[in-house]
Structure 1
């Protein structure tokens, strides 16, 4: 009989999951840190190893245990991120700033209306990045953290959105 951790885990040895955790949890935790917010890493790690125990009968002991663990970790991280909705502030909830005399000028209102209509034509992810930057007053790093996407993704969405806005604004104004 094979005495390896892989074989014992697949056979349902209760001590194998603990040994698996001690041996592989640091690497899985490090992997999860790149995928989920730091405050959620330990929760997702616990879900991963709970699933390892529940799915042990599906593990092939001739295959790579770390690869199987990372596959489960990736799937649970994606599930975790999908379940969490980023908090955004709708554009309509942001009050229009008053002019120098305390009133909003008519031409400024018309400009804002044109911008809002153009923003409505953007894809949701581009509109969200622009709204958070210009109406939410967040930096691109803060937007990336809030949306839980890479900084480069935020930069690309913002640039594409602004480029598209530039093309849309003359058309909306007409």
Structure 2
């Protein structure tokens, strides 16, 4: 039956297209579903079968009809996707995304740079204690064990370092 459908379609038999649609329409639909939006599948399927009819003289009945149909479907899906105009928004209209504290990421990056510069001005022992506490997420007891120093020393270094950071980061009133 398929061989006769192939021959009839290639010969231009009017009923062959309808039979081809009935037989292979679901195959073409499922193939198109992989590429195009659901609302466009039916229209594109109609375009595919219209092209099948228009180019029936190029079809070799000795070859696979489903493969030929899917080749046409693929080409029409690609054409459809290329013709789409992507929805874009000008960048100057879009605001920077807000961070967890409500400020934009750009503000946070500037603050991080400022904190890093201030940390670099601290004496190494104070900087190390603060970095382990805040960036290393360690408790003061864990810092003391890691550095092999008394807990009181860690507390003193952290307190002095935080006071110095506060001075460095607080803008001077003019």
| 2-structure distance, mates of 1:17, 1:23 | 10
Q: 5+ unaligned residues in a row in structure 2: which ranges?
A: 111-174
What pairs with 1:53-92 in structure 2 (closer than 5 Å)? 53-92=53-92
Note closer, same or farther for the CA distance 1:92–1:6 as it changes in structure 2 (3 Å cut): same
Cα drift, residue 96 of structure 1: 5.7
Deviation at 1:97, TM superposition (A): 8.0
Hey, what's the Cα distance between the residues in 1 that align with 2:97 and 2:48?
A: 48
User: How far is 1:90 from its partner?
Assistant: 2.2
Deviation at 1:9, TM superposition (A): 0.3
CA RMSD of aligned residues (A): 2.5
Partner SS, residue 91 of structure 1: coil
Counterpart CA distance in 1 for 2:32 and 2:97 is: 42
Task: Quickly say closer, same or farther: Cα 1:91–1:61, change in 2 above 3 A.
Answer: same
Is 2:23 aligned against 1:27? no
Cα separation, partners in 2 of 1:15 and 1:91, compared to 1, 3 Å: same
Aligned to 1:51: 51
1:23-60 Cα deviation digits (max 9, x unpaired): 00001100100011111000100000000000000000
Partners of 2:65 and 2:95 lie apart in 1 by: 54
Aligned pairs (5 A) from 1:1-174: 4-95=4-95, 108=107
Larger radius of gyration: 2
Higher relative contact order (CA 8 A, sep 6+): 1
TM-score if structure 1 supplies the norm length?
A: 0.54
Paired residue secondary structure (2:62): coil
Q: Distance in 2 between matches of 1:71 and 1:96?
A: 44
Q: CA deviation at 1:95?
A: 4.0
TM-score where L is the length of structure 2: 0.54
